[in-house]
Structure 1
């Protein structure tokens, strides 16, 4: 079983510099996951809920991914995984242009399925589903009776895949840096689990487009995890 994090991290609120983050990422550790959210899409710009809809990156999103690629150019990456949705897969492919490794796609890393809400703007959801929308914003873990996936079921799905990836990666003999590119909701769920935050606080775990997180397992996956970096966006962006 994976043990939760009990360590502090640096995040957007502590104003880390590009150099301070890179200094962490180049130091070897038994197992490290570099968790990134995909770049911007037109639907992000429109506040339109994507969920499992396969929306591609827009030009800004591609540029954001290019910036992450440059930022990670000198950081060793030994394995790479992404959601099978285009916006995550293409972000990962762009990031990996300086690393000669194959990208593995994992459907279980897809964004939280939002049912009939997918394709609607937040304003449209608020008008068409006022009670559910209010519950979703105030107590997201209690939203049950709608056509989409609950936070708990999505969390279980994503956490199982996380464990599968880490188990596969740890089987290698040397220290490993693993890149995972996923989605806002997926990354929020993972960070909630990793830091022991209840799903009622889901909205308090920000994840901007191409935000970078780093999770270390200094003693392997059966030891304590350490979230070193949260929601970091390169200053050049």
Structure 2
């Protein structure tokens, strides 16, 4: 049995400012750091074989905080990066809606209708394929034990869609995934079982 724990990076300054991050980075806030420390305390007794982190700085820093002084290898996986929003990155929701109201609305309300991709951004099908590639690679490498994945909000929705065979149009039906919340899916070699999603008990 493989226990796949996963979390979203800690809160960042751009999260507070409601700016899209995507492949761009923003520093963790004090709250983001504190909550990553609390998650590390919650998971301290869990024996992880490996931590897999997105290559984005905010995710890698979160992984290192969770790991703390424990001797757990951290593997950086580029395909666990957030979806690229192209020219929308760094802009606030209000700024994006002023120029791309329909496209922005489609992304969040009808992702299967998200056909107009911002300049230099990823399409949802391409994004989901690379996330699935990352997960399949991780599963092939680990047949049992505990692993931790540190990644991003939209990536987690893509992961859950893959685990539970949920179509793109229902990607946003999952609950909001808060920074440093904890999720767990089990893989028995044949099927995935959701144990918890977005749990924040350690954050008080």
Which bracket does the TM-score occupy, shorter chain normalised?
Answer: over 0.9
Counterpart residue number, 2:183: 213
Structure 1 residue aligned with 2:113 = 142
- Candidates 117, 139, 145, aligned match of 1:176: 145
**Correspondence 1:226 to 2:197:** no
| Mapped contact 1:37–1:208 kept (Cα < 8 A) | yes
The structure having more radius of gyration, on CA atoms, is: 1
Q: Contact 2:14–2:21 (CA<8 Å) still a contact in 1? A: yes
- Alignment partner for residue 117 of structure 1, among 82, 88, 102? 88
Structure 2 residue matching 1:34: 3-state secondary structure: strand
Measured after TM superposition, the shift of residue 198 of structure 1 is 1.6
C-alpha distance in 1, partners of 2:21/2:60?
15
Q: Which runs of 5+ in 2 are unaligned?
A: none
Q: Distance in 1 between matches of 2:69 and 2:3?
A: 19
In the TM superposition, structure 1's runs of 4+ consecutive aligned residues that sit over 4 Å from their partners are: none
Q: 1:81 aligns to what?
A: 52
Question: Please, what TM-score do these two structures have when normalized by structure 1?
Answer: 0.81
Of the three residues 16, 23, 42, the one matched with 1:71 is: 42
The answer to whether the 8 A contact 2:83-2:154 is kept is yes
SS at match of 2:83: coil
RMSD: 1.3
Contact kept, 8 Å, 1:39 with 1:210, in 2: the verdict is: yes
Deviations 1:88-142 (A, max 9, x none): 1011111111531121111111000001110111111111112212222321122
TM-score after normalising by structure 2:
0.94
Aligned partners of 1:202 and 1:44: how far apart in 2? 20
Counterpart of 2:48 in 1: which secondary structure?
coil
**Counterparts of residues 53-64 of structure 1 (less than 5 Å):** 53-64=24-35
Instruction: Answer whether contact 2:38 2:202 (CA < 8 A) is retained.
Output: no
Report the Cα distance in structure 1 between the residues aligned to 2:169 and 2:99, rounded to whole angstroms.
23
Quote the Cα distance in structure 2 between the aligned partners of 1:117 and 1:91.
Answer: 24
Equivalent pairs counted in the alignment come to 201
Secondary structure of 2:72's counterpart equals coil
